[in-house]
Every structure is written in C-alpha cells, then in structure tokens.
C-alpha cells in the first residue's frame, strides 16, 4: 500500500474531479438579461413562473417565493398560526435556522432527539416532547434523506399539530412516489448557492392548503392581499419577497436539477456499494419508501473501532489529504449553540415563558452524530465513476495506515 498523501505519498483520489458549484447554466444567464432589460425587477411574471413551475415539480398546489430559506421557515410558522408562548418541537441536529426560526416568532422550541441512523428527527422523541402547549413540529429532510413521514404525519394528526417540512436539502426528494414538502402544512426550501438548486440566495414555501397559501402570500408581502400593489395592508408582517433576478436564476437551474439528481443517485449507489463493505463506515439505511433523492450533502458515520481507534478528526484530515473533501459537520447540537443560552432566547419570548435548560438536554442521538458524522457536499456525486470509486479507495488506504496514524496521535 503506498504511503499516505499526508506523508508525501500519491493521493488515492487523484481521479476525483468535482465540478465547481454553483454551475451557471445558459438559460439562467438569458433569463437574467431579460429581467434586467424588462425593468420589472421585483414582483411580476418571473416570480409567478418560478412559483408555478416549482409547485408543479414538487407535487404541491401552491408555492410562495421568498428571499431565503430562513425566512421561509419563519413565514411558514407565522402562517400556520404560531402565537407568542406556543411550543414547537424542533430538530436537534441541523442548521440552526431549523430551530431558531421558532423563538424568532415568539414561540418556545422543544428539541426532539435525532435518529443517528438516518440523521432525521426521531418520531418517538417527538411524542415524548408533546405538551398541552405544543402546536406544531418542524422536521428536516436532512441531506435530502426524508424523515419518516409514515410516523410523523399520524403523530401530528393525532395531536392536532401542524408539520413544517424543512426541505432546504431535499429538492427532488420523494416519499412513496410523491415529492416532499406538502405532506405537512408547509414545506420550506432554500436556494442559497450551496444548494442543489441555487440562486445565490432565495427560497420558497409550498403547501396544498388554499387558506394557508393565501395567508402566507399576504404575510410575505407586508400584509397586502394577493394581487394587490397599493397601500392597504391587512395584517402586520414583514417583507420576505424574492427579487425577479433570483427567480430568473432559479428557473434556469430548475431545468437541470432532475438530470443532476439522477446522476447523483446513480453515483451514490456506486459509492454505497463500496462503503457498505468497509468496516467502520456506517451508511444510512436503504428505505424503499424513499423513491427519489434530492441532495445538498451526504453523510456517513465514522466508527474508530474499524480504524484501530483513529480519531475522526485525524481520519478526516488524512482523507482530505488523499483528495476527498470531507468535513465533520455540526460541532454541537443546535441546543448547545450559544444562541440558545437562556438569556438569548428569553429576550424573544413573552415575559414569564418557561424556557427549557437547553444546554443540559440529554439527547444522545444528536450528540452521537456530532461525534461520528463525516459529510461531503453534493457536487462530489457529479464526478465520473472512476472518481466516485476513488473515494472508497482513499478510505481503504487510510484504514490500512490507521494503526500508524493512531500511534502518532498518542
């Protein structure tokens, strides 16, 4: 076995050529020029076209384009009727916006644990967190791997709770042949430039509910009723509108998304067939209910016992040197972020609100993922087959040298 690249040997993944991201497409460029020359840079036909095409693509009746994925969650919470002092169950392992949107609208987050096998919210933990003050659940289709909708939707129906699907990672993901987003009250998406459907910034909210859709459109547009442009405002709300430039870019990228997702799925299947045979690498379970995958990143769990006790940090460093751009994901669960210290949360909530002691929550699944997660971004899955197989070759190479690397850690 050649020396590790970290010791001056050849990189095992030299064949891995990852395309730059985002990849501008010609249609986006043409759309941008049309918008620029039209002089209609705010609301108008480009926004409407994106909303119609995205709703159709994601099997939803309605879509409301917004300025980014974070305000998409906030808008969904407000439109779902969340009031100050309400409780909303949120995921413990995700980007902070999946939970921080709740206190931003004056409600109290209650964190559910994460299933370490799937990286998604644990339905059993959701049940445990329900109280008399709980009004809804925010769950994440983490890395485009759908949360268990067969469990979560009935839980919400049983307890009269709304479900918001944070689908920022899941453009194109399907559950039982239907795209995610409209299984609950709302689905929210991000178009930030790292996502598989990028427009720089931007996002969108989808729903099948006519009443919720009208409410969200009004709240998205500073309280104006749908179609109105004057100065009559029916509710107190902010401006979360998307610009026509963002819509122009997103529409072009939407054209290429289905083919890109197919290629990612094909390459992930090749990579999984390799990774599943490597001791110490734990991939997500295969689930026949997931009938198509969207991607933002992908993950596996690292078990040092399969690598002679080598720390994850040293494993990641060695693998990156071999040419595989992996990273370790979130360092702490959301509830241990400084932003969730009690004083920070308290200033957003009604006086006297009872705030959980977030820093001392015992949520072992989320904490396990903070120790074990190894992630890579979705553009890796657009490489050619030789490069995809080189990823596994690089892991096996690090594994073959793991005892030596471990000895140097001591």
In this prediction, residues 16-35 reach a mean pLDDT of 96
Of the chain, the percentage scoring pLDDT greater than 70 comes to 100
Please give the average per-residue pLDDT across 279-286, as a whole number: 98
| Predicted confidence band of residue 374 (pLDDT cuts 50, 70, 90) | very high
Residue 193 has pLDDT above 90, yes or no: yes
Tell me the angle at which helices 244-275 and 26-38 cross, rounded to the nearest 10 degrees. Answer: 160
**Is a pLDDT exceeding 80 seen at residue 410?**
no
Positions marked catalytic: 95, 166, 169, 192, 195, 224, 231, 241
Q: What pLDDT was estimated at residue 227? A: 79
Q: What are 206's strand-pairing partners?
A: 63, 187
- Is the model more confident about 181 or about 1? 181
Say whether pLDDT at 225 is over 90: no
Q: Is the pLDDT of residue 205 over 80?
A: yes
Confidence of residue 351 (pLDDT cuts 50, 70, 90): very high
- Contact of 69 with 296, CB cutoff 8 Å: no
Compute the mean pLDDT over every residue in the chain, rounded to the nearest whole number: 96
CA distance 406 to 410: 7
Note the pLDDT of residue 1: 73
The yes-or-no verdict on residue 57 having pLDDT over 90 is yes
Q: Residue-wise over 122-161: b if at least 16 C-beta within 10 A, else e?
A: bbebbeebbeeebbbbbbbbbbbbbbbbeebbebbeeeeb
Interval 84-129: pLDDT, tens: 999 999 999 999 999 999 999 999 999 999 999 999 999 999 999 9
Is the pLDDT reported for residue 228 higher than 90? no
The pTM (predicted TM-score) of the whole model is 0.96
Is it the case that residue 223 has pLDDT exceeding 90? no
Q: 26-253 maps to which CATH number?
A: 3.40.640.10
Confidence category of residue 343, pLDDT binned at 50, 70, 90: confident
Asked if the model's pLDDT at residue 229 lies above 90, the reply is no
pLDDT digits (tens, 9 = 90+) for 178-187: 999 999 999 9
User: Please, are residues 224 and 235 in contact by the beta-carbon 8 Å criterion?
Assistant: no
Q: What's the confidence (pLDDT) of residue 108?
A: 97
Once rounded to an integer, what is the mean pLDDT over residues 38-50?
Answer: 94
Choose between 232 and 166: higher pLDDT.
166
What is the pLDDT at residue 43?
A: 84
Sign of CA dihedral 278, 279, 282, 284: positive
pLDDT above 90 for 342: no
283-318: burial string, b at 16+ Cβ within 10 Å, e else: bbeeeeebebbbbbbbbbbbebeebeebebebbbeb
**Local confidence band at 361 (pLDDT 50, 70, 90 cut-offs):** very high
What average pLDDT score do residues 157-161 get?
Answer: 98
> Which helix or strand (DSSP H or E) is residue 377 part of?
strand 373-377
């Amino acid at each position: 076995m050649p020396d590790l690249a970290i010791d001056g040997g050849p990189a095992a993944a030299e064949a891995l050529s990852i395309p730059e991201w985002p990849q501008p497409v010609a249609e986006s460029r043409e759309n941008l020029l049309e918008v620029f020359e039209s002089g209609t840079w705010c609301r108008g036909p480009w926004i409407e076209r994106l909303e119609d095409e995205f709703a159709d693509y994601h099997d939803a009746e309605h879509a409301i384009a917004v300025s980014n994925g974070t305000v998409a969650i906030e808008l969904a919470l407000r439109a779902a009727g969340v009031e100050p002092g309400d409780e909303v169950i949120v995921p413990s392992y995700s980007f902070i916006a999946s939970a921080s949107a709740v206190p931003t609208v004056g409600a109290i987050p209650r964190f559910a644990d994460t299933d370490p096998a799937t990286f998604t919210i644990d339905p059993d933990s959701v049940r445990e967190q329900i109280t008399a003050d709980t009004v809804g659940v925010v769950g994440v289709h983490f890395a485009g791997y759908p949360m268990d909708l067969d469990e979560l939707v009935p839980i919400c129906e049983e307890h009269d709770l709304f479900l918001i699907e944070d689908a920022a990672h899941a453009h194109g993901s399907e559950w039982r042949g239907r795209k995610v987003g409209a299984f609950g009250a709302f689905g929210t998406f991000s178009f930030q430039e790292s996502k598989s459907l990028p427009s720089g910034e931007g996002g969108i909210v989808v729903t099948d509910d006519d009443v919720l859709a009208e409410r969200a459109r009004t709240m998205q547009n500073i309280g104006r009723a749908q179609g109105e442009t004057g100065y009559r405002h029916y509710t107190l709300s902010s401006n979360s509108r998307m610009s026509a430039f963002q819509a122009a870019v997103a529409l072009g990228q939407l054209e290429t998304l289905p083919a890109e997702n197919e290629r990612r799925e094909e390459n992930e299947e090749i990579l999984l067939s390799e990774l599943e045979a490597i001791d110490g690498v734990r991939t997500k379970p295969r689930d026949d209910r997931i009938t198509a995958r969207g991607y933002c990143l992908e993950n596996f769990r690292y078990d040092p016992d399969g690598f002679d006790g080598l720390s994850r940090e040293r494993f990641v460093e060695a693998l990156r040197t071999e040419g595989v751009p992996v990273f370790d994901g979130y360092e702490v669960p959301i509830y241990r972020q400084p932003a969730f210290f009690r004083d920070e949360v308290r200033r957003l909530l009604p006086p006297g609100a009872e705030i959980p002691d977030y820093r001392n929550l015992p949520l072992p699944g989320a904490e396990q993922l903070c120790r074990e997660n190894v992630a890579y971004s979705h553009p890796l899955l657009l490489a050619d087959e030789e490069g995809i197989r080189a990823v596994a070759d690089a892991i096996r190479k690090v594994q073959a040298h793991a005892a030596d690397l471990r000895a140097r850690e001591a």
